[in-house]
Amino acid sequence: MVLERVKWGIIGCGNVTEVKSGPPLQLTPNSELVAVMRRNGALAEDYSKRHNVPKWYSDADQLINDPDINAIYVATPPETHLEYAVKAMRAGKIAYVEKPMCRNYAECLEILKVSEETGIPVYVAYYRRALPGFVKVKELVDSNAIGSVRLVNVRLYQKANQDLGEKELPWRYIPELAGGGLLFDLAAHTLDYLDYVFGPIGNVKANAINQAGLYPAEDLVLANWQHETGVAGTGSWCFTASEHSKIDEVEIIGDHGRILFSTFEFSPVVIENSNGKVEFPFQRPAHVQSYLMEKIVASIRGEGLSPSTGASAARTNRILDEMVKGYYGN
């Protein structure tokens, strides 16, 4: 499916679309934002006025069936990704889905099945595959700057949100809505990016538990895995640590050096090898999804390939499922 101009509609114009993802739909060449939808019509109207979007809806089906739209950005919680992505493709419209792609791998496979049946592509918002600092890491690995890669170590420790007991629990902490807890919301970015750099992950062994009892989802996950290319990996994610333990670090170890970077902090990419230590600084862009959106629009126009697709994103959901299956008993 090739389009000359991509005309977007957003389902779920919430916080993530305000700066991260909404503006790139308008700013990318050959792309425009035609309409937005939110169940609260007043909020949808407000968004449309503030962002100069021509149309707004309070009903998703009306947006999906708008003849002026040829691509749908599903920016809702994962609970409804399957429903809206399938409806979009059945209506002949490209689907762009927030991450994680779905609540579980089975739902991802349903989306891929409909994509194959309809011939309509689906993309997923794993935008780190296109961000300059992460592109640099992949370039360093691919150029053998640290030799043959042996393993990758991931550590993400955060302090718990202190407001959790004072208001309605956010959807990110409710497995029925999100698929899991913050592992699905945050670690998904890292795992998907490692899939991009080292290829699909094969075997996974993990232990997911809840230590603090602040919410029903897992709050600590310890895992090890092996990519099909042979690179090994370990990861530990703790979402109820102290402020003094806070860390966001990915370490890639090769037989001639190592690379350090962060998933969320936009700290400099660091390489250490026989040539010494070198830092590659990169800044957080004004709109973090802009680089990926450029590639998605180019792909839709038949001018290139997107690094993030439904197929690649589904693999990440499979790994997330494997990591928490002992906790949820599936």
The whole-number pLDDT of residue 230 equals 97
Write out pLDDT tens, residues 280-317: 999 999 999 999 999 999 999 999 999 999 999 999 99
Label residue 330 by pLDDT band (50, 70, 90): low
Q: Sort 176 into a burial class: Cβ within 10 Å, 0-12 / 13-18 / 19+.
A: exposed
What's the CATH fold of domain 6-126? Rossmann fold (3.40.50)
How many C-beta atoms lie closer than 10 Å to residue 138's C-beta? 15
pLDDT at position 307: 98
Are the C-beta atoms of residues 288 and 131 closer than 8 Å to each other? yes
pLDDT greater than 70 at residue 165 = no
pLDDT higher than 90, residue 97: yes
State pTM to two decimals.
0.97
Q: Give me the residue label for tokens 């038949």.
A: 302
Q: How many helices (H) and strands (E) does the chain have?
A: 12, 14
Burial status of residue 283 (CB atoms within 10 A of its CB: 0-12, 13-18, 19 or more): exposed
- Contact yes or no for 209/194 (Cβ under 8 A): no
Question: Tens digits of per-residue pLDDT, 192-247?
Answer: 999 999 999 999 999 999 999 999 999 999 999 999 999 999 999 999 999 999 99
Q: Domain-by-domain residue ranges, the chain?
A: 6-126, 132-284
Domain 132-284 in CATH 3.30.360.10: yes
Report whether pLDDT(82) > 90. Answer: yes
Q: What is the pLDDT of residue 320?
A: 98
pLDDT at 117 over 90: yes
Strand pairing report for 122-124 and 94-97: parallel
Closest Cα partner for 239 from 180, 152, 285? 180
pLDDT at res. 329: 83
Q: What is the pLDDT of residue 79?
A: 98
Interaxial angle between packed helices 105-118 and 310-328, expressed in degrees from 0 to 180 and rounded to the nearest 10: 160
